[in-house]
Structure 1
């Protein structure tokens, strides 16, 4: 059996959580943008990824202290993700919303796969 940490403790843990989540979201943002728009520069994705990662880490870190509903953090992360996509890829609001939707779907699917493989790996017999 293993434990999952709900919120990182200490500045190094917060920085590591943010960095790894930002890289993951940058990769999934690039996959989503490429899927919808075709050939796009990867540097845009590395600006998009840290935006929802920062919101997520802040909400996870301070939700218990502020009594902030987690759902509002998820909504804020998705909205700011869409704003960043619209600004960086210079697309219409409708197209930016579509790319954001694809980004959410790709992130959930890839996150589920990565978590599943990780969970299987750490619970495998010796």
Structure 2
């Protein structure tokens, strides 16, 4: 059984979590945009990650139900894709958003599972 010590939440921890989550979402947003649009500027993906990351961290901190936070995060994700990549067809925006969700979930499960396995390894 894995026992975690009690943790205190500091502003630095919240800021660090938000920044790392935003970077992770930006990387996966770039992968999604490359998948749908082809060759794109990676700096544009930096605009996509922060708003959904803030929604996720704030929603988790205040125990907002996922039924509220997930649609808001997805709407912001789509809006930021549209703004950042100047795409007019809603089909392209919807495709990028769905691909972004899939890549984020898959990569999150793989990275999270790897970290968990390494944390339980004998020393």
In the superposition, the TM-score normalised over structure 1's length comes to 0.89
Q: CA separation of 1:89/1:13 partners in 2, compared to 1, >3 Å: closer, same or farther?
A: same
How far the C-alpha of 1:4 sits from its partner, in A, is 9.8
Name the SS for the 1:125 alignment partner: coil
- Identify unmatched segments of 5+ residues in structure 1: none
Name the SS for the 1:40 alignment partner: coil
- Identify unmatched segments of 5+ residues in structure 2: none
Which aligned pairs between 1:40-51 and structure 2 lie closer than 5 A? Answer: 40-51=40-51
Match of 2:86 in 1: 90
Which aligned pairs between 1:66-81 and structure 2 lie closer than 5 A? Answer: 68-81=64-77
Q: RMSD of the alignment, in Å? A: 1.9
Deviations 1:25-63 (CA, angstroms, capped at 9, x unpaired): 000000000011011011110110111101101111122
In the superposition, the TM-score normalised over structure 2's length comes to 0.91
Between the aligned partners of 2:39 and 2:118, the Cα distance in structure 1 is: 35
Between the aligned partners of 1:30 and 1:101, the Cα distance in structure 2 is: 13
What is the aligned residue count? 121
Aligned to 2:113, which of 100, 108, 116?
116
Between the aligned partners of 1:2 and 1:123, the Cα distance in structure 2 is: 11
Deviations 1:60-114 (CA, angstroms, capped at 9, x unpaired): 1122xxxx32221011101100010011111111110110000000000000000
How far the C-alpha of 1:21 sits from its partner, in A, is 0.2
